[in-house]
Amino acid sequence: MAVRDAVGMLKVGLELFVSEGPSALAVGRETGLPVFLDLKLCDIPETVDRAVARASTLGARILTVHAGGGPAMLARAVQRAEQERAGLVIAAVTVLTSLDAGDLAAMGLERDVPKHAQRLARLAYDQGVRAFVCSPHEVSSMRSLLGADVTLITPGVRASREAGADDQKRVATAARAIADGADWLVVGRPIRDAVDPLAAAHAFAREADEARASRGRSS
């Protein structure tokens, strides 16, 4: 793993999981890093319950589900993770970073993205979820809504020169996301597609560390 010394967790997403199956999580054992299993599960409660039980045996630290799956699905996911006692944390995805107000309107949903994300987060929180995935644009309001004890995971993190360069519409820099209250940053393409992935990973890590230090001084 080329970037293992510059990151704190490894993401196994849908593309890799479909390609390699559960064996993809061996990367965590090989590197000694926790694994963020980003499958965004959204199905009937029984199916998600069984999927969480299976994921609990794979060594993942965090597993994502869609908050839009509803209260019964969310509650079952949290309960199953707790029952398995494997240390798996359920994280609820609110609104994908590829969506904006126009996309929500096209789906017949609330056009105000932060408000819709907060509504989904509150629903998930009430079912026992204590980790959430939200874009950098919502992380500050999520922290205010949910408090200091939840874990906020922020995708859509870009270098300043890359903002708006791909299909993710609600993006920000690592410094901005950390300053607004993010705990974990998800950085994919800016590292994967860099000429020097390790240098890119170190650059993001330095920016995040500096932002955390600054946030600590101001708190």
Q: Which residues are catalytic?
A: 40
Convert 150-172 to b/e letters by CB count within 10 Å (16 or more is b): bbbbbbbbbbeeeeeeeebbbbb
Asked if 155 and 96 count as a contact pair (C-beta separation under 8 A), the reply is no
> Could you give the C-alpha distances from 96 to 50, 52, 65, 154, 165, in angstroms and in order?
24, 21, 12, 11, 16
Tell me the chain's radius of gyration from C-alpha atoms: 17
Distance separating alpha carbons of residues 172 and 99, to the nearest angstrom: 15
The type of residue at 129 is V
Query: What residues contact residue 106 under an 8 Å CB cut-off, 6+ apart?
Result: none
